[in-house]
């Protein structure tokens, strides 16, 4: 393990939401994009919790990794911890539970917390353990999550690009519609659905990417549009409400979106508006793909009905710029502002992961557990 690990993107021209070196974490304040590029110093788990809750950092993988690293920074700089290894492990577990409470829908966060708790409880049980060895095990495991996410995203990009091309009549001129932001800013780097778009572009087969505004927080117009321009990918921004008309005009070869939680049957929670896009895609006979790392899967839930959907502040809708700007809605109106919706598996054509693409075998649902069992140790194209 390198002493100064990071996501390995230094020198790369891609945008970096998470800047980490052991003992130091800076998060790009995504609320200020695209007009200002400001990094906030995250010194401990409390800073991490607030940055996630307040949308400084967002996107399922980025939330999980930022949370894990905020605690890594706290323990790297911890000077006086006079406890036993078991007390060190329970200190970390308590902080992880607190971090998980920042946002409920993306499973990546609780998945990371569960894995990290296992690491520290094993470290505490080791014969020659002391509290420093427990903290060291935690820091190293959190750092591995940062590096692993970039590798997973690159694999998702290449599996997705290949699969989509194989499904198309003319695989040399593809136009892909995406929703929300699933790029470098939403992950440790490269991106999931946006990673697939990047891979298609680098293979020279992407005619155009279309991104939705993604109201009310405008992750599409502020973040995805920013990334697409930055990457010089030919792209067009559309209002969320223009998607059906775009599909009707035969301008979309495929829709690719990310995921915050995929249930065991393939039902997928993602940014509000994803479900409408899937319905429109089905009506227009356009394939609809979800691109997500295995850390976004929750096999403990049999269907999407069990997914908890975060409701966010009415202010995000009442005021411009996702609540940060001037008032735009009539005073006194009541608001319903779910941050996510669930797209049923029946509307999803395939789920692109770092281990290959999950397809259906004759039913409306996906057999995620079977895929994961088979995928461990092998890749399925």
Q: Is 370 a catalytic residue?
A: no
Q: Which residues lie below 8 Å from residue 208, measured CB to CB, with a gap of 6+?
A: 175, 176, 234, 235, 236, 251
Which residue in 67, 119, 186, 290 binds ligand MRU (CB under 6 A)? 186
Phi, psi of 348 (to 5 degrees): -105, 130
For ligand MRU, give the closer residue by CB, 58 or 198.
58
CB of 340 to ligand MRU, least distance (A): 6
CA distance 61 to 58: 8
Binding of residue 258 to ligand MRU (CB under 6 A) = yes
Binding of residue 198 to ligand MRU (CB under 6 A) = no
The 229-248 site mask, x for binding ligand MRU (CB under 6 A), equals --------------------
Q: Which residues lie below 8 Å from residue 125, measured CB to CB, with a gap of 6+?
A: 85
Q: Which residues lie below 8 Å from residue 108, measured CB to CB, with a gap of 6+?
A: 60, 61, 63, 64, 260, 293, 295, 296
CB of 30 to ligand MRU, least distance (A): 8
Residue pair 74/95 in contact by the 8 Å Cβ criterion: yes
Q: How far is CA 274 from CA 100, 187, 256, in A?
A: 24, 19, 10
For ligand MRU, give the closer residue by CB, 252 or 291.
291
67: tokens are: 């949370």
CA distance 350 to 132: 45
CA distance 35 to 221: 12
Q: Tokens 């999550």 belong to which residue?
A: 145
The 335-354 site mask, x for binding ligand MRU (CB under 6 A), equals ----x---------------
Binding of residue 182 to ligand MRU (CB under 6 A) = yes
Which residue in 106, 120, 176, 307 binds ligand MRU (CB under 6 A)? 106
Residues 120-179 that bind ligand MRU (CB under 6 A): none
Q: How far is CA 50 from CA 46, 53, 57, 176, 262, in A?
A: 6, 5, 10, 34, 25
For ligand MRU, give the closer residue by CB, 124 or 259.
259
CB of 272 to ligand MRU, least distance (A): 8
Starting at the earlier edge strand, list the strands of the sheet with 206-212.
235-238, 206-212, 174-178, 254-257, 288-291, 350-353, 356-358
For ligand MRU, give the closer residue by CB, 48 or 85.
48
For ligand MRU, give the closer residue by CB, 17 or 265.
17
Binding of residue 58 to ligand MRU (CB under 6 A) = yes
Q: Tokens 């010194």 belong to which residue?
A: 43
106: tokens are: 């993306």
Binding of residue 219 to ligand MRU (CB under 6 A) = yes
CB of 219 to ligand MRU, least distance (A): 5
Binding of residue 201 to ligand MRU (CB under 6 A) = no
* Span of 69-77, 91-99, 123-131, 253-261 interacting with ligand MRU by CB under 6 A: 253-261
**Nearest residue relative to ligand MRU (C-beta):** 258
Binding of residue 221 to ligand MRU (CB under 6 A) = no
For ligand MRU, give the closer residue by CB, 264 or 290.
290
CB of 195 to ligand MRU, least distance (A): 9
| Long-range pairs of 118-122 with CB within 8 A, sequence gap ≥ 24 | 120/88, 120/89, 120/92, 120/93, 121/89, 121/93
Taking alpha carbons only, the member of 29, 17, 21 closest to residue 64 is 17
Q: Tokens 């890594």 belong to which residue?
A: 72
From the candidates 47, 260, 267, 298, give the one annotated as an active-site residue. 260
Residues 266-325 that bind ligand MRU (CB under 6 A): 270-271
For ligand MRU, give the closer residue by CB, 124 or 180.
180
Could you give the residue numbers annotated as active site?
260
Site of interaction with ligand MRU (CB under 6 A): 58-61, 106, 180, 182, 186-187, 192, 219, 258-260, 270-271, 339
């Amino acid at each position: 393990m390198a002493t100064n690990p990071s996501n390995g993107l230094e020198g790369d021209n891609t945008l970096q939401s998470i800047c980490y070196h052991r003992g130091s974490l800076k998060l790009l304040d995504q609320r200020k994009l695209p007009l200002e590029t400001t990094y906030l110093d995250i010194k401990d788990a409390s800073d991490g919790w607030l940055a996630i809750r307040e949308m400084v950092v967002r996107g399922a993988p980025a939330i999980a990794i930022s949370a894990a690293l905020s605690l890594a920074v706290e323990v790297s700089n911890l000077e006086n911890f006079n406890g036993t290894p078991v007390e060190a492990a329970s200190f970390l577990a308590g902080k992880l539970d607190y971090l998980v409470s920042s946002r409920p829908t993306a499973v990546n966060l609780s998945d990371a917390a569960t894995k990290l708790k296992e690491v520290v409880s094993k470290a505490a049980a080791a014969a020659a353990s002391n509290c420093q060895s427990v903290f060291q095990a935690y820091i190293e495991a959190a750092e591995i999550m940062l590096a692993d996410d970039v590798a997973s995203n690159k694999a998702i990009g290449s599996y997705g690009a290949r699969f989509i091309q194989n499904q198309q009549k003319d695989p040399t001129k593809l136009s892909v519609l995406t929703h929300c932001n699933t790029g470098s800013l939403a992950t440790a780097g490269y991106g999931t659905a946006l990673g697939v778009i990047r891979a298609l572009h680098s293979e020279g087969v992407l005619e155009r990417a279309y991104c939705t505004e993604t109201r009310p927080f405008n992750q599409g117009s502020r973040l995805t549009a920013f990334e697409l321009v930055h990457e010089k990918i030919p792209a067009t921004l559309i209002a969320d409400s223009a998607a059906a008309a775009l599909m009707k005009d035969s301008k979309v070869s495929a829709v690719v979106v990310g995921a915050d939680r995929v249930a065991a049957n393939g039902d997928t929670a993602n940014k509000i508006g994803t479900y409408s896009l899937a319905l429109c895609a089905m009506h227009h006979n356009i394939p609809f793909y979800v691109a997500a790392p295995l850390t976004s899967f929750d096999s403990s839930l049999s269907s999407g009905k069990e997914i908890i959907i975060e409701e966010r502040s009415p202010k995000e809708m009442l005021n411009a710029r996702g609540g940060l700007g001037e008032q735009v809605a009539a005073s006194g109106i009541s608001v319903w502002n779910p941050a996510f919706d669930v797209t049923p598996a029946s509307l999803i054509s395939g789920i692109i992961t770092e281990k290959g693409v999950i397809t259906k075998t004759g039913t409306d649902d996906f057999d995620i557990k079977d895929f994961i069992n088979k995928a461990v140790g092998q890749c399925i194209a």
